[in-house]
Each structure stands twice: as structure tokens, then as C-alpha cells.
Structure 1
């Protein structure tokens, strides 16, 4: 696992950091196989031992560190670098230990936020860009990426071991998106709002949403939509559907929040989409097990037995139907789909 340097004295001495600094990241993070294993101490800055921050403003990133970031930022050298299991190219800027107090828009280049607190991030790269963005062990209020419908497309969008205590991604409209091992807890919205955990548009490919914990905070007020909300809102690059999608080993806590847990694609072409190993927590307010908010139920669901699609081992984790299977049409059954 890669280790990045922090300007604050966090973690153990490590001569790789140089300059008399200490390195955060010497804590060995918990290795998990399922989102149900996450706790709040495994995600966000605390997951790598960072508890003190230097406040800096956001702004527009175009490939080089903002001047106000100072020693909190460094640039990846020749040959690239692997950080927390992800490999980034030479020239990537890594910002660590920062409290970014205003919105951050990434227009070009590669930016990695590691062990930070961030108001909001927008990946806004033009189509054909080789740049992208990653948040690793970072606490966020919002993380959005643009898509082909707007003539934009980051090369990659990565969010790993992130902590969203009150909100979610809302708009992730690009291809090549990885959201893994993150804690995404969504508050009710205000009147007229439409809140989601991870929201996609459609016409997208290469999406990996795996080993996350997703939950609704508070009670139902009609603003909650989907914790994983894969909508079909229109074409991007001529496609309205989804291809190469992995939704694996997530842990859904609906509670009294009442929004849908998984809104899978409806009424559009779906290929090579694997939904497996996910678990749902039962709530005492549920009645008929075939009409819960676990999976969005409507006409036009994908056929998960053709086109490289698969739906397997998706179950209730507790309650009166513990270990029974949830099917794509939201029915609860004692047998596998």
C-alpha cells in the first residue's frame, strides 16, 4: 500500500517522507470483504490516523497545486505511484491533511485528495482528457463528476474509504467510476429536494460500486430517492443504457428513512452488469416482504440471465426473512433468482 506524506505530525517516522516530516498511512487499514464490516473509524481521515488539519480554500484546479496549499501538496514523480492500492501517473498532485473550506472544481490534470475534509468536489474534465480525480480516506459533503451529455469526461473517478456523514455523491455521470468501501449516510432533504446516495444518469460504462455501507439518516420526508440510484435520464454518446457494472457486497440500511436502497436501471439496455453479495437490513416498519424499499420495483427491469448480466446471493441480513433472497423485481424468496 502506498504511503503519502503529511505536513502534520501524524503516524510513525518514515524516512521515505524526508524533510523531517512524518507519514500518515502507517496505520494498517482493516481489510474487508463486505460493506457490513465497515465502522466509522475505518473511513475518512481517521482511517489512516489523521486527526489534525490545516484549513485552505478550494478553487479551480488545472493540473498544479493551488498556491494556498503549500506543503500540504506534493507531486508524484517519474514512474507514477501506487497509493492505497490505486496507481496514479507522474504529475498527479496529492493533497493530504487539508480542510478544504470551499468548493473544489477539477478542470484538468490528476488530483488525489487523501486524508482531507472537503466541502465539495466537481470533476469537470473535457471529453478526451487523460486527467481525473480521487478521494481516498477523505470526508466529503459532495463529490460529483460530469459526463458525455455535457461534453465532459474525466478519465477516471475514484472514491475509496470515504466518509459522507450527511450526504452522498448525487451526480456521478461519467464512465470509469470506482466507489468502494465508503460510508455514505444521507440526511433527508429540504422541501423540493431530491436526495440520493450515488446517482447516475445512464449511457455509462465501467462502474464499480462495491463493499460500501449506504444508509438513510433520520425519518421519511418524501425527498429520499435511492441509495444507489441508476437512473435512465437520457442519452450520453448515443447510449441510454449501462455496460460493465459491478454492484457487489454492499450493505444497505434503509431504516425509517424510507427511500429506495437499490434503484437498478429500468427500461434501457443493460449488459455485463453483476449484482451479487449485497445485504439489506430489515426494518420493523416494513410489512409485506415483496413490497419493501429494498429494490425499486417497476416494469422494464433488466434480464439478469442474459447479456453477461448476473444477479445472485442478494439477501436480507436479519429480521423475519433473514438470509432469504431478494430478486430484481423486489420479491423476497426462499430460493435464488
Structure 2
């Protein structure tokens, strides 16, 4: 049975949304056991029953306002820290939190630890695309603002194994986000990144398709988009902002467009609902910090119970996919051959 360590006090709507999400997941999958870390006096009254759920009492909470490194080091009895420690100690298989992104990343790095030979773990998110239900994976989108050539090469491998094992994509396409598709586009560091990824592709390690422009991401141009954390975060927020702007324009057009617009919206209601469901990125279950010895899944701070459930299922999916084991084997074998 898979055991998930859950930070029950992390997030804007904790602990209620966390508990409700855990019970939704528990009711749909009886093969997952949940270790809830947090204030027992707040958690217990919210639980309908304790089946497959164990509460581990903690008396500290890391807030969104806390400085991540200092908080993780000083608040050793916090729900976030003890949940991560449970994974390190082998008491749980994965760590899930909707708390401070910085604190989750610090706990993942300092407590759970990196896979040997991985220089910098990458924060990964799966986003929807128009022409399939698999979506595309982007790494990194915020863990490391700057990235060296070697980091990008490792991101490509982490993204490849994640896409193959978890997203079930055979021979995933990998593209480098750039300001043009030509081989010589971008600054010197991006040109070197392109050369290194092309060399890996020539050796058969990855399926590199070259430079890709952000405007092609939602059209399914690639399965894995690799980039530095600064660029990735900007692309992610621009994509989300554009999608929200389009929705707002549609609503405004319907509201102020008269009877014809309202009737058109009525007849297109089912179609618009399907589009909204298809482009809902929360169904993919939060962000993942790839490159660690165990899965770390970060839910959105304002996650509702359904989003928490998706995060928990995502963590379970990574554990059972064998992703971590395959990454460890690959890098161990590479190190031996070197």
C-alpha cells in the first residue's frame, strides 16, 4: 500500500480543504494510506472517519510569510518539515503540500535530498494542450532562476523519464524554449544548450526536436519543454493570464452583446464547458519537484478539495510508476560509465 505524507496545515484553505481532499481520494482509492501532519485538535473534527488515515500531531506551522530556509531549519516540529522527514525516514513514499512553495522546495532539497548526480532539481508542471489529453510538461518553471547547460541537459532527462513513466508518452519529444526555432537563435548560453541537447539526441539519450517558441506550447508542439526557471515561470504566468483574459472577453462579449450573443452562448454552453474542462490544468495534480529521492508534489495555495485529491492521486501515480527508480538507475549507470 502506498503511503502519502500530507501537510494538513499548508495552504490558504487548510486544514479543511486538505482533509476533504484526502477523504475524496481515500474514498476513490482504498490502496492509499494517508499520514496527516498537523494540529490534531483541528484535524480530527473535520474527518468523517479515520479509515486509511493516521494523524501525526504537530504544533508548528510554516506560513506563506515565513522565509523558507530559516523556517525549515527552525520550525522542526512544523507539519511541513515532519511530513518531509517521514518520507526521508521511509515512513511514507511521497510528500504532498499546498503550503509555501519556497519551503516545500527547501524541505525537499535539504530533508528528502537529491538523487545522486542531479545538480539542481527542477520544478515541473503539466499543462493542457488543444489536440490531446496528455498535455505537455515544462521543467523548470521556478526552482532555479538561472540554469547552466548541464542543468538543462539533466532537466531534459528528468522530463523524459517523467513523461514516459508517469504521463505514458512513448519516446517523448523534448524542445528547448527559445525566441525562435532556428538552431542559432537566442543568446550564447541558449545556443550552447541547443548544441548539448542535440548531442544527447544524436547519442540516443533523448528525442530532441530543437528550439520551440512559447506560442506553440498549447498546440502540442512538444511533450517536454525545458528551460530555466525564470523563463519558465514567465511563460507559465503569461499562458495562464492569456487564458483568463480570453475567458473574461468571452463573458464580457456575451453580457454586453445583446440577445443574439446570449442565445449563441446558450446553444454553445456544452461546447464551452468542454473547452473549459479540457484546458483545466489543475486536473494534472499540482507541480512536482523532479530530481529528488522521492516524489514531492506541490498543490496550489488556494487549492479546493478536488485539486487536493488530484495532487494526492498524482503523487500515488509517480510512486507506482517506477519513475524515481528509473532515474536513479540511469544516473548511476552513467556515473559508472564515466
Using the size of structure 1 for normalisation, the TM-score is 0.30
More helix by share: 2
Name which one, 1 or 2, has greater alpha-carbon Rg: 2
Of structures 1 and 2, the one scoring higher in RCO (CA 8 A, sep 6+) is 2
TM-score (structure 2 length as normaliser): 0.30
- Greater fraction of residues in strand: 1
